[in-house]
């Protein structure tokens, strides 16, 4: 707070509820966000924000995020392997966890992609990918089902 005294100015102590005879001032220094007194800080332009905390739906299963569509147009890629045997092992591991996982060869023939899905739209695929990444780590990639059909020709 910046103030100046002069004719027509009020005593700044009155603005903060201090008695005129009281000269004590209390300063609070906040050194980290966890000590913040103001609640959630305003986002800074260009800052990377942490993902939102899980909701109750996430904690109890979030079945709406795990709905697959056999005719869906999108898939979520969760890994690429140079070794087809390793890719097959990862698919079996994911299937044992209940995911509809599968492997598809990269068009170059040098790699095997491990994917989960299908999803009716990009948004549902992205939500699934985020949840999968949160629960199992790693990165994910969303691709159109049509690109698999082109790659297999």
Q: How far apart are CA 118 and CA 73, in angstroms?
A: 7
How many domains does the chain fold into? 1
Report the predicted TM-score, pTM, of the whole model to 2 decimal places.
0.57
Residue 49 has pLDDT above 80, yes or no: no
* 26 occurs within a structural domain: no
SS3 content of the chain, % helix, strand, coil (to 5): 35, 15, 50
Residue at 98 is within a domain: yes
Range of the domain at 141: 56-151
The answer to the question of residue 145 being in a domain is yes
pLDDT over 70 (residue 5): no
The answer as to whether 79 is a domain residue is yes
Would you say residue 42 lies in a domain? no
Instruction: Convert the pLDDT of each residue in 92-134 to its tens digit.
Output: 999 999 999 999 998 888 899 999 999 999 999 999 999 999 9
CATH number at residue 120: 3.30.70.1070
């Amino acid at each position: 707070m910046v103030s100046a005294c002069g004719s027509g100015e009020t005593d700044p102590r009155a603005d903060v509820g201090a008695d005129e005879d009281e000269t004590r001032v209390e300063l609070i220094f906040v050194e980290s966000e966890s000590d913040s007194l103001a609640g959630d800080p305003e986002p800074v332009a260009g800052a990377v924000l942490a993902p939102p905390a899980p909701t109750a739906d996430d904690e109890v299963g979030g079945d709406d995020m795990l709905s697959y569509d056999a005719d869906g147009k999108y898939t979520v890629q969760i890994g690429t392997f140079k070794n087809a045997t390793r890719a097959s092992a990862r698919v079996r591991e994911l299937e044992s966890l209940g995911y509809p996982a599968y492997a598809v060869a990269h068009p170059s023939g040098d790699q095997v992609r491990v994917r989960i899905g299908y999803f009716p739209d990009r948004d549902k695929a992205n939500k699934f990918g985020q949840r999968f990444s949160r629960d199992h780590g790693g990165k994910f990639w969303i691709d159109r089902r049509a690109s698999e059909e082109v790659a297999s020709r």
